[in-house]
Chains A and B, each alone.
Chain A
Amino acid sequence: MKVLVTVKEVAAVEDEFQIAGTSIDETYLEYDLNEWDDYAVEEAVQLQEAGIADEVVAVTIGPERSEETIRMALAKGADRAVRIWDDALEGADLLDVGAKTAILEKVVEEEDPDIVLSGVQADDDGFGATGVSLADALGYEWAAVVNHLDQDSVESGTASVRRELEGGVEELTDVELPAVLTIQTGINEPRYASLRGIRQAQRKEIAPKTLGDLGLDAAAVENELELTDMYEPETESDATYFEGGPDEAAGQLADLLREKGVGAQ
């Protein structure tokens, strides 16, 4: 069984930074593996350690610099990686879900995995849609925001998962493989990369591919989105203190919640 994990290097700003137009200078950025992807990698490696998966392949869309980060997925146990980059991507200031889907779809066709694990969302642009959009394009089943995966079920060709819905509600469901699961934080405890793993990862393959290699052209990744503005949202905090006994305080809280629109029908 083969597991494909989509991973992304994300940028985080330092405490102090400056915005120049619609970008932030490199000096204020720190790059790291997207937090959700760390959990997806761990889930994949656990499937491999349990003898269920034979191969774990990581795929990323990113420039050469991202190899340093992607290598951490290899250090944690992924067998090899595919990195897609192209001059046509270099120019885009934002890669929308459609473009990512078009690229990943081709990679999935090439790799033919039994399961695709993606993070629920990326820490930077936060679309939270790529995994499901990819499943849709491929005609795969999917489960989004998975916070538990029954590993034994995977062996039998159906993934029994627990999904997190809104409002603290969870859903147990089965999806038939091949499928895309978008992995939620907390599903496992991501490991540290071992020193030996880091050492071995330097010799693992990160295969660079262009759009052309995947049989795509620039038109396939044309964006429908344009980045028009970038600003720091103002942070506000607002605290209300209720006086009086429990009954009175509860009444005031109920009024406030109603006023703010919570529970409105």
Chain B
Amino acid sequence: MDFALSDEQKQIKEEVARFAENEIEPVAQEYDVEEKYPWDIIEKAADAGLLGAHIPFEYGGADYGNLESALITEELFAVDPGIGLSLTSTSFGADAIMEFGTDDQKERFLEPIPTGDAIMGAAISEPDTGSDVSSVSTQAEKDGDEWVINGNKMWITNGSIGDYYVVLCETDPDAEGRYNGFSQIVVESDRDGFEAEKITGKLGIRASDTAELILKDVRVPEENLIGTRGMGFLQQMQFFDETRTAVAAQGVGIAKGANEAALSYAQEREQFDRPISDFQAIQHKLSDMHTRTEAARMLTYKAAWNVDQGADITKLASMAKEYASRVAVDVANEAVQIHGGAGFVNDFPVERFYRDAKITQIYEGTTEIQKNIIARELLGKGY
């Protein structure tokens, strides 16, 4: 058993942390308040070669695995989750193309990601389809050598600023079995009939773009189908281990950022003629926050490492996602408490962490769904 990061992993962490501190921290509050997409930072990150970490080498990425991606996510989210998500999500949906795409699809859709020339997304959720993914109702019908797509996709990260999306559609409504008859089809945002409405007023991760996609008779060439027709749901499911581990890393990052802020504030703020870190009540909070963060980190790294070994880790990924997101929410809450009134306004980053943390319990499967999965695996029940 080896708990040490390699020199290479340490170098990644340090360089990403340096980027986050120099380029993101000074503008994080501004993007949050104005709820605007961080184009400038995306461009800087593209220039610095920090985008598309897991895209294969031949398509311009660094070909990094889940553990390295988790380290990158952690460092970015520790500084600002909204901009952090904007950076890590430019390749959302790329997994499916990497695994099931043709060479042509890989060239078209993967190559522009690391250079920042394109931003993509994964469109699964719909107004009536959230936790129950198998209820997807967006229809794709074959017409000659084209797919004609109709439906609405809800809560899509990068929805109003992206270039293309891997859209989960129903292609064969008559297929037998709950999970059959779906397909993953790439839809470009410049197709006729494609419309996106930015969703504003978000509680947190406000720099990240979220939108509703409205698809009305959108025609895409048949070459845009990823993998096998009718197998889209099962293809999608293959990456839950990856995506849940990634959200776990987001939680660890938020907790880390909140911890650091709380620790330094506790040593600076004086009341009753001493730093508040002299009070045992505050000390115990800090101990607890750091201990739980470290536990979440270990669970997350273990999940990421296992995915990289090719192991099937449904239960572990759900445990990491559920626990790390809960720790993020709890730790951010305590960090605000330690800041007192100062934590209630956005002069300090903990106010933002407190709002940003919540999303990690909702997307990529809610906390309740993760617990359902863990229990299902424990009890040996199929889904």
Whether B197 is near chain A, meaning CB under 8 Å from some CB there, is: no
CB distance A198 to B12 under 8 Å? yes
Given contacts A196-B57, A196-B62, contact A67 B49 (CB under 8 A): no
Given contacts A199-B62, A199-B63, A199-B64, contact A193 B57 (CB under 8 A): no
Separation of A191 and B19 alpha carbons in the complex (Å): 10
Among candidates A67, A71, A194, A199, residue contacting B50 with C-beta atoms closer than 8 Å: A194
State A199–B49 Cα separation when bound (angstroms). 11
A interface size (C-beta, 8 A): 16
Contact B10 A195 (CB under 8 A): no
21 cross-chain CB contacts under 8 A: A68-B7, A68-B10, A75-B11, A75-B15, A192-B18, A192-B19, A194-B62, A195-B50, A195-B62, A196-B57, A196-B60, A196-B62, A196-B114, A198-B8, A198-B11, A198-B15, A198-B62, A199-B8, A199-B57, A199-B63, A199-B64
For B61, the chain A residues whose CB sits under 8 A away are 195-196
Residue-wise, chain B 28-65 has the 8 Å CB interface mask toward A (1 for contact) of 00000000000000000000111001000100111110
Chain B interface residue count, Cβ-Cβ cutoff 8 angstroms = 20
Known A195-B12, A196-B49, A198-B12; further 20 A-B contacts with Cβ < 8 A: A68-B7, A68-B11, A72-B11, A75-B15, A192-B48, A193-B11, A194-B49, A194-B50, A195-B49, A195-B62, A195-B72, A196-B61, A196-B62, A196-B114, A199-B8, A199-B62, A199-B63, A199-B64, A201-B11, A202-B8
A180 to chain B, nearest CB (A): 29
Distance from B52 Cβ to chain A, minimum over Cβ atoms (Å): 8
Residues of A181-195 at the interface with B, using a CB-CB cut-off of 8 Å, are 191-195
Nearest neighbor of A32 in chain B, beta-carbon distance: B14
The 3 closest A-B pairs by CB, nearest first: A194-B49, A195-B62, A192-B48
- Cβ-neighbour of A197 out of B19, B49, B53 (below 8 A): B49
Distance A133 CA – B263 CA, assembled complex (angstroms)? 47
Residues of B near any A CB (own CB < 8 A): 7-8, 10-12, 15, 18-19, 48-50, 53, 57, 60-64, 72, 114
Q: Which residue of A lies closest to B51 (CB)?
A: A195
Q: Are A192 and B50 in contact (CB under 8 A)?
A: yes
CB neighbours (8 Å) of B49 from chain A are 192-197
Identity of the chain B residue whose Cβ is nearest the Cβ of A68 in the assembled complex? B7
Bound complex: CA of A197 vs CA of B12, how far in Å? 10
Question: Quick one: which of A74-128 are within 8 Å of B by CB?
Answer: 75
- A195–B13 alpha-carbon span in the complex (Å): 10
A194 contacts across to B, CB distance below 8 A: 48-50, 62
Cα separation A198 to B68 with both chains bound (whole Å): 12
* Cβ 8 A contact of B7, one of A67, A193, A199: A67
Residues of chain A with a CB closer than 8 A to B10's CB = 68
Does A71 contact B48, Cβ atoms closer than 8 Å?
Answer: no
Instruction: Look across to chain A and name the residue whose beta carbon is closest to the beta carbon of B54.
Output: A195
Closest chain B residue to A194 by CB distance? Answer: B49
A142 to B49, CA, bound (A): 34
Chain A residues in 8 Å Cβ range of B57: 196, 199
A 190-214 to B, binary, CB cutoff 8 A, 1 in contact else 0:
0111111111011000000000000
Distance in Å from the Cβ of B135 to the closest Cβ of chain A?
Answer: 38
Q: In the docked arrangement, what's the CA distance between A183 and B12, Å?
A: 26
- Bound state CA distance, A77 and B7, in angstroms? 18
